[in-house]
Chain A
């Protein structure tokens, strides 16, 4: 600030001057210096400066209504009020316009929901060791084995019944068709898994799809399977009851006729069923369906086979059976299983 500014200042002007007020109310060495040198240069302004300073200083020497005890008392009151403050529920104010808007919004949402409902993707999945029975919208029954999932789009009234699966699922598809000469799209039921397509009208069959390998076993009725031939040509064949087809990815690799087709449903009763299984097969089941981590000290052990049939109710019994029939040592801690030879 230039000195010249203050040459014509009256007391009143000083009292209203920001620089001056700031000097009096919040003095610093720098401000003191400025005003001191101003007064040295223009002593005739001393009267005005001192008077203005006096007014402000005198004014600032006011009573202060302050008391430490009061500060503490008020604080205690504040603390008490906050502690006892109850959560007051927000008042619901009903405004006609607001309500109308909400109603319109709800209606729109409802309509959107209805449309969406008919084309909604539904996924049912099971964890390790879990078996689950689900009734589909067409009243067909599906049973998911452990570590499996099934996906479909709702709205089967409008299009054919179609599901996608991973893992093992037993289908008991409801037969909707009444006139075999006239089959409507919605009367067909499709299962997609690992590149193959199963088309049925109403039967009981099992699809097991793990590690690129898919087994389709038919209990009764007829099913049509579409798959790719070795020349990447789309082919299809009709399965008869008791047939068991094995696909690797989408190629047909084996065709068997089951001696006891009814056995394909036995797993649904939480029973472990194996027919002349290799140890590798058993290990696979333990890992895929029950979530165990199985390690074998010698890889060759996996080729060991159990002659005959194993029908057990649980993993514990299964491990005991393997240990006694194959003369192996099996140690288990939580989800880890180690299979080793019995050292002699």
Chain B
């Protein structure tokens, strides 16, 4: 479960970033290898066309190297790359104009389906499977921006400030958007007594393992 990039590693990454800006190829390589996985995962939420994601990651890193002298110092390298990749994917799929107008109209969606896909191998229990399929069905009906914020909040564990930066909205908008999303997941919280007992068992097991 601890699949977030550890904090001190994030801090070291800022030093690596500074070194990369000075033209250190090894630092550049390290940044790529550290974040490729995160970027692909995030990109996969926008499009299931892996070629588009890989093209965007390629373009993003080539651009980083070319413009290394003009880059700033982000608070978090990961979030900076997320934001850049998000932008690249929107650009590549030629929806940037639409995306911008969406931003202004405070609409909740863009053309991407923010896909939730569960790894079948990991899922061992029926109860868990049921919950996951419920999550999937519910999320599918959510506007993509709400799906995205759920991902950034629960999966990438970003703060509201970081989400606001990545998604290009204000912090209070991020906060509102997230609550809207949770509100739409209400269905998940209605639980029967019987299921409740099952879930409690699972939960207690989690407590033992983690």
Contact = CB atoms under 8 A, between A and B. Distances in A.
Interface of A: 10-12, 15-16, 18, 21-22, 24-27, 32, 36, 46-47, 49-51, 53-66, 70-71, 73-75, 77-78, 81-82, 85
B137 interface: no
B18 interface: no
Interface of B: 1-4, 29, 32-33, 36-37, 40-41, 43-44, 50, 53-54, 57-58, 61-62, 65-66, 116-119, 122-123, 128, 131-132, 135, 150, 153-155, 157, 159, 178-179, 182-183, 185-186, 188-189, 191, 196, 199-200, 202-204, 206-207, 210
B58 A81 contact: yes
B37 A56 contact: no
B41 A78 contact: no
Contacts of A10: 189
Contact of B117 (A15, A21, A63, A71): A63
A25 B162 CA distance: 16
A59 B189 contact: no
Contact of B37 (A36, A71, A81): A71
Contact of B199 (A12, A54, A73): A54
Given A57-B206, A58-B128, 10 more contacts: A25-B1, A25-B154, A47-B191, A50-B202, A57-B1, A61-B119, A63-B119, A65-B41, A70-B54, A85-B66
* Residue in A10, A21, A61, A73 with the greatest tally of chain B CB atoms within 10 Å: A61
Nearest to B195: A51
Contacts of B62: 78, 81-82, 85
Contacts of A56: 154
A15 B4 contact: no
Nearest to A56: B154
Contact of B50 (A21, A63, A65, A82): A65
Contact of A74 (B57, B153, B202): B57
Contacts of A51: 188-189, 191, 196, 199
Contacts of A22: 157
A186 B203 CA distance: 104
18 contacts: A15-B182, A16-B178, A21-B153, A26-B2, A32-B210, A36-B207, A54-B203, A55-B185, A57-B1, A59-B155, A60-B1, A61-B132, A65-B41, A65-B50, A71-B36, A71-B37, A78-B61, A85-B66
Contacts, number: 137
A64 B116 contact: no
A59 B135 CA distance: 7
B135 A55 contact: yes
A26 B189 CA distance: 22
Contact of B183 (A12, A58, A66): A12
A73 B188 CA distance: 41
Contact of B41 (A11, A53, A61, A64): A64
A56 B151 CA distance: 10
Contacts of A60: 1, 3, 154-155
A222 B54 CA distance: 89
A66 B37 contact: yes
Contacts of A85: 62, 66
B182 A16 contact: yes
B119 A78 contact: no
B154 A21 contact: yes
Contact of A54 (B32, B53, B131): B131
A11 B188 CA distance: 9
Nearest to A16: B182
B41 A27 contact: no
Contacts of B65: 78, 82
Given A22-B157, A58-B128, A66 B41 contact: yes
Nearest to A74: B54
9 A-B pairs closest in CB distance? A50-B203, A11-B189, A65-B44, A25-B157, A63-B117, A66-B37, A81-B62, A63-B119, A71-B36
Contacts of A46: 200, 203
Nearest to A47: B196
